[in-house]
Copies of this chain bind each other. A is one copy, B any other.
Amino acid sequence: MRNIALIVSYDGTDYSGFQSQPGGNTIQDKLEQVISKLTGERVRLMGSGRTDAGVHARCQVVNFETSSTIPIERWAIALSTRLPNDIVVQSAYSVPDHFHSRRDALSKTYRYTINCNRMPDLFRRRYEFHHPTPLDLEAMRAGAAHLVGEHDFTSFTSPLSTKPSHVRTILETKLVHETRTEAEGLYANPIYNREWDERHYPGKTRGVIHLYVTGTGFLYNMVRIIAGTLIQIGESKIAPEAMPGILAARNRARSGPTAIPQGLSLWEVVYEHLPSGQ
């Protein structure tokens, strides 16, 4: 048997999440069906982690065992041409027998995208959260910085979580500002009023904010609750200095709402012996 790892991208809009479900219509179900059809074997694959319904992936990593003799350089094209056009296998690698896409992941990065312009970006509307008023980016950065390190993230997961421990390690948080429409262009549009924005949203910024969160492991809904909390910090509803208290409370009621899934993408999974990125 060979062990094969795939780097997979998907648009999660029309799926019930990554992990296989009785009803089907998950990314894992689609991949297993297509691999099984190609190899004639019943295949069970392992993903680096789940993604919720509606969440996307730039680089999800999965692996599976097969006795197929298809050369390694053929797998990505063979699978992609058989998959629906919202799932693409970017590349395939032969990996050692012991490779396990979830256990061997050194870190994972998720990206959550927030568009703070008045109008949604039509051509990226499936991949971002539209927040039509400006946000305080510096406050969000200060709030996010408090999450770095080993913490009990009970305040940042579903109260229904059955995990024995909610202690996880965040390695890095990063907020990147993309103006997309240059500031001058934006305020040349009469739907924007610079004075109004400056008076009503002092210190806040328009444009698009990408939140990157890198960690060694994540809880159910964790990045979406982090995003929802940072948005409330950006709205000045929560002070960035409140973050340590929210963590210490270990109480889901203390953090912000769970941000909608469409803004979230699994961005990168890092392994010792597998190239990362697309």
Identify the A interface with B (CB < 8 A): 9-11, 56, 72-73, 76-77, 80, 85-88, 90-93, 118-120, 122-125, 127, 181, 185, 188-191, 193, 275, 277-278
Contact = CB atoms under 8 A, between A and B. Distances in A.
Contacts of A190: 72-73, 76, 91-93
A90 B189 contact: yes
A171 B189 CA distance: 26
Contacts of A122: 9-11, 86-88
**Which of A56, A73, A123, A190 counts the most chain B CB atoms within 10 A?**
A123
A138 B192 CA distance: 41
A30 to B, nearest CB: 14
- Mostly, the A contact residues are mixed
A189 B91 contact: yes
Q: What is the count of identical protomers in the complex?
A: 2
A147 to B, nearest CB: 27
A122 B93 CA distance: 21
Given A11-B123, A73-B191, 12 more contacts: A73-B190, A76-B190, A77-B118, A85-B125, A86-B122, A87-B122, A88-B120, A90-B119, A90-B191, A93-B190, A123-B127, A185-B277
A109 to B, nearest CB: 16
